[in-house]
Structure 1
């Protein structure tokens, strides 16, 4: 080897070790940075017959298969997490059978008050006890309806936030796609750009399920699993949310989950929120409204003192039941002011009927018995409520509370299973793509040795050249 060849070889070695040490140092510095992917530099011989080495490219050690699995499992986990959290807040207010505050327990207390009244029909205390228990029951149903309405408002707000975050991430990707074209593949700048792109794709996968493709220039296009485009190169399809019907659109394409005829989203936070808004909460509302209807109609049908169109013990804001006004009935459930302790308080009507013009015989239990018999009548709830039409009024509240609590438990179990799967896949991805500091320190030691060897060659060549010059 000539002195010039040795000099070129050592010089290229120093430049290469400088880059290698920079890559290893970056790895060590970002070992604990969330989402950071280990980087490596490919060393190749120099071209054109020159002796030496150079860095062919700096690449991120990405496992594409693990990335896809990680994003899919994370999307599933977030979907069920949203469901679990949304249902937990509501069912915590709703209560459980046996806790003394759920609609089921309030109805049990209401039913027991009638047992006392039928045994002591003339006792003012027993009559007032029924009125008070009826007030508690109506308040419990209204409270559940209010809590469910609050949950729905929170879901709408969260969906707006998630859509805003999604659109922001898509426009950030659009910007990175444009910048990516300015960097040559295999450079440190291109690796940094890839880091940012993958971070955004991980964020997006927690909101909606995605399918990702890269062009030859490194720009990224993102689609939903159903095929709707979110971003193609520099073209972004804004995602919009209609709070009225819960529709989600990507540009002009409907991506609403669980909508007939639509290849909608399957996983991600927007799916969990959409499920709450379009499926779970409407069913819970329907159950509450049917229960309120059952209470109102049961006492209207059993009260022989009522004139047509006259309200019974339970009312729709003071009015009789109107089939055309079922929606939201639970939030309007009230006790008739004739017997309400905050109204006229004529509690003797609980013995003689709400439409009675005057007090009847003190020991007459005929009307009371008719009210009690109404507890065994089937409510006849439609199948969409998830509660059998044959369930009676006295069992409906317990069935409703159990049904809604079961939905929460199911969401909790699904979340637990999805979280375990996501943690397993993400752990595997972290191990495959993350930084092992011990490995990096060993690599730095080898780089240091290489640097020392190349420095020694340069020093030796320099001494030889000096000797030759001195000899001339």
Structure 2
């Protein structure tokens, strides 16, 4: 090897070690940064035209990646955030049950109503017991009204959170477009794009929290992003994600769908639905879980109106009419075995039986609440003070199997009290299941993130060891240059 070639080899080695030193320092500085992946210098050997090794060449900066682990992290993160959104909603709905010892849920108050009926039946002439019965019935109505309001509040909050999620998705897609452009151009020009790749991975991870995604990376570093339902979310440019919020929710309100480039991906109209991410969890809560619970409450309200409805006592075949519990459609009784959406918010105490509203408390015992002036619905025409027949009718009706709507995920042929208890069990079962699922998913996300960090992250001890090796290699190259310098000095001295 000639002295000039040896000098060239030493110089290229020094330049390579300088780049390696800078890269190691960069790794150490970024070791604690979220999403930072370890960088390394890509070196190649330079071969001269004569076939001799003539030094090292820096080809670029590489980064450690694990596509399988990263894809798993995206998926597990999306599942975890959807479960978190569902659990938060279920926790809010569970507040309608409250502490069972406080007995403020519709199911608990229905039990209190039975007790009040039994007490009133034992002494039907006792005004205090009758007033207690009316008060308990009023508490039950209030509970149904307020619980219904809470359910619709949960839906409204979920709808607002959907709007926030859509805003976040659009913002992240904008960031992704900028970073993707930098990466593609950097690949074409040979610039270092490793930091941009790290940033893009972090944007994609944040995007997966909002909506489940899958990714495809093309040869030029360009990335294509799809929803987990198969709709293109990003390809060269970001697709528009749109959503129209609903200001107020009632039992009959249907929330709007979320669209990606005009395709509904979340909501009741979704044709290519997403199956994970916060967006999915929120729409599931708004459109499935909360409405199902609302329907159960509506069926409890319908069962109450039916149980306390008044029949024609004249034999004339008149229609049943709403009694102690009534609604906006009175005096008619809601259609049997048919869900009346929003009924739990609409149910009320009949003013004709409430002294505070100018009514007559004795009508609870005697009947005729629907129309005190119509004798056909009077169960106690002789006004017997000890008449207990009506109270017993109420008790029998509460324990009588009836047909409920089959779409509320409970036994459609239960008693009213059994149905109300099952509703509590349904809500608690879903909450406990969501809690368990989230705990498991949190572990999966944590372990996946840890494995990815162990694979692609920076180990300070290893970097410091590598830095020592680079220093030794740098010193060796410097010695080679010194040796070549001495040899050149000797040659010049001998030539003179």
TM-score, structure 1 normalization: 0.92
Q: CA deviation at 1:198?
A: 0.9
* Counterparts in 2 of 1:470 and 1:104: CA distance versus 1, 3 Å: same
Aligned mate of 1:112, from 103, 110, 115: 115
List aligned pairs for 1:271-350, cutoff 5 A: 271-301=280-310, 311-317=322-328, 319-320=330-331, 321-323=333-335, 326-340=340-354, 342-344=356-358, 346-350=360-364
Higher RCO (CA-CA < 8 Å; seq separation 6+): 1
C-alpha separation in 2, matches of 1:28 and 1:340: 77
Please list the CA deviations of residues 313-344 of structure 1 after superposition, one character each: whole Å capped at 9, or x if unmatched: 11225844454992211112211123336423
* Counterparts in 2 of 1:442 and 1:298: CA distance versus 1, 3 Å: same
Please list the CA deviations of residues 32-63 of structure 1 after superposition, one character each: whole Å capped at 9, or x if unmatched: 21111111122221244561112222111100
* Counterparts in 2 of 1:340 and 1:454: CA distance versus 1, 3 Å: farther
Q: CA deviation at 1:81?
A: 1.3
- Please identify, of 346-355 and 178-187, the stretch whose mean Cα deviation from structure 2 is larger: 178-187
Corresponding residue number in structure 1 for 2:439 = 416
* Counterparts in 2 of 1:325 and 1:80: CA distance versus 1, 3 Å: closer
Q: CA deviation at 1:79?
A: 1.4
Q: CA deviation at 1:401?
A: 1.2
Q: CA deviation at 1:226?
A: 2.9
* Counterparts in 2 of 1:284 and 1:163: CA distance versus 1, 3 Å: same
Aligned mate of 2:155, from 152, 155, 167: 152
- Please identify, of 203-212 and 95-104, the stretch whose mean Cα deviation from structure 2 is larger: 95-104
TM-score, structure 2 normalization: 0.88
* Residues 310 and 321, structure 2, Cα contact 8 Å, conserved in 1: no
Q: CA deviation at 1:89?
A: 1.5
Please list the CA deviations of residues 349-396 of structure 1 after superposition, one character each: whole Å capped at 9, or x if unmatched: 221122445992211112222222211233421111112221112222
> What SS does structure 2 have at the residue aligned with 1:183?
helix
Please list the CA deviations of residues 182-228 of structure 1 after superposition, one character each: whole Å capped at 9, or x if unmatched: 31369663111111111111112222222211222111111123321
C-alpha separation in 1, matches of 2:185 and 2:410: 61
C-alpha separation in 2, matches of 1:412 and 1:185: 48
C-alpha separation in 2, matches of 1:469 and 1:436: 49
* Counterparts in 2 of 1:185 and 1:39: CA distance versus 1, 3 Å: farther
> What SS does structure 2 have at the residue aligned with 1:206?
helix
Say yes or no: does 1:172 pair with 2:175.
yes
> What SS does structure 1 have at the residue aligned with 2:219?
coil
- Please identify, of 32-41 and 322-331, the stretch whose mean Cα deviation from structure 2 is larger: 322-331
Q: How many residues were matched structurally?
A: 470
Say yes or no: does 1:376 pair with 2:399.
yes
C-alpha separation in 2, matches of 1:431 and 1:341: 73
Please list the CA deviations of residues 150-204 of structure 1 after superposition, one character each: whole Å capped at 9, or x if unmatched: 1001110111111111111112212222222331369663111111111111112
Q: CA deviation at 1:113?
A: 0.6
Aligned mate of 1:439, from 462, 469, 477: 462
* Residues 38 and 458, structure 2, Cα contact 8 Å, conserved in 1: yes
List aligned pairs for 1:6-85, cutoff 5 A: 6-49=6-49, 51-85=54-88
C-alpha separation in 1, matches of 2:403 and 2:468: 79
C-alpha separation in 2, matches of 1:242 and 1:72: 27
Corresponding residue number in structure 1 for 2:482 = 459
C-alpha separation in 1, matches of 2:18 and 2:384: 105
C-alpha separation in 2, matches of 1:32 and 1:186: 30
Aligned mate of 2:209, from 206, 211, 220: 206
Please list the CA deviations of residues 391-421 of structure 1 after superposition, one character each: whole Å capped at 9, or x if unmatched: 1122222111111221111222222222222
Unaligned runs of 5+ in 2: 246-253, 374-380
* Counterparts in 2 of 1:98 and 1:302: CA distance versus 1, 3 Å: farther
Unaligned runs of 5+ in 1: none
C-alpha separation in 2, matches of 1:424 and 1:289: 44
Say yes or no: does 1:250 pair with 2:260.
yes
Please list the CA deviations of residues 238-290 of structure 1 after superposition, one character each: whole Å capped at 9, or x if unmatched: 12235554422211323236768x33212111111121122111111111111
Aligned mate of 1:425, from 436, 448, 453: 448
> What SS does structure 2 have at the residue aligned with 1:197?
helix
> What SS does structure 1 have at the residue aligned with 2:272?
coil
C-alpha separation in 1, matches of 2:427 and 2:483: 82
* Counterparts in 2 of 1:37 and 1:185: CA distance versus 1, 3 Å: farther
* Residues 309 and 320, structure 2, Cα contact 8 Å, conserved in 1: no
* Counterparts in 2 of 1:222 and 1:312: CA distance versus 1, 3 Å: same
